[in-house]
Amino acid sequence: MTKQEALRLLKIIIQKDKSLPLRDQATQLVFGVGAPSAKIFFLGEAPGFYEDQKGEPFVGAAGKLLNQNLERIGIKRKDVFISNIVLFRPPANRDPEEKEIKSFEKYIDKMIAVVSPKIIVTLGRFSMAKFLKNVKISSVHGKIYKLQLKNKDIIVLPMFHPAAALRNPQFMDSFQKDFLKLKEYVKA
């Protein structure tokens, strides 16, 4: 089975899983998007209003900022993979709850295993916490971490969430600098 087929199958399995939380209030499942063999995997938090409408992650204002920064470092959106740790929109864009994140975890892990990226860029503290426990995003953003996920070596680069960058000029500065870190990593 190709990676594309494996992802298509995974999407169908998630769509059929009636036990998943948030499904009833959401318009549709927001699966991942991008290259099935991407070297870079961006992992955000949860779909917002526009993502819920379109069925694609990061298509609103935060997505625009993500796209601009990808372009700035010479990477095309279609060449990376983008998803979230929660795949249905939480009501009124509230933060995802721990038990909701847990419910999606096996599917997110499978998605990562299929794509098998070289580096996972976490966007925001919720996806960061999947890999880095008991740390503050303000101290760890922009640093490269060599970790293990399901006994597989993985590189994680935590970044601020683009929505946080849009709200706070200091975070915006860090967000843009952290993209240069990603560029350095990709070049090396």
* Contact (CB, 8 A) for 181 and 142: yes
Over its C-alpha atoms, the chain yields an Rg (Å, rounded) of 15
CA 105 from centre of chain: 12
120 bridge partner residues: 41, 156
Is the CB of 61 or the CB of 148 nearer to ligand URA? 61
Residue 98 CB, nearest approach to ligand URA (Å): 16
57 in contact with ligand URA (CB under 6 A): yes
Backbone angles phi, psi at 144, to 5 degrees: -90, 125
Backbone angles phi, psi at 14, to 5 degrees: -65, -40
Q: Which of 51, 52, 100, 178 is the binder for ligand URA (CB under 6 A)?
A: 51
What track of x and - describes contact with ligand URA for positions 9 through 48 (by CB under 6 A)? -----------------------------------xxxxx
179 in contact with ligand URA (CB under 6 A): no
Give the total of residues touching ligand URA (CB under 6 A): 12
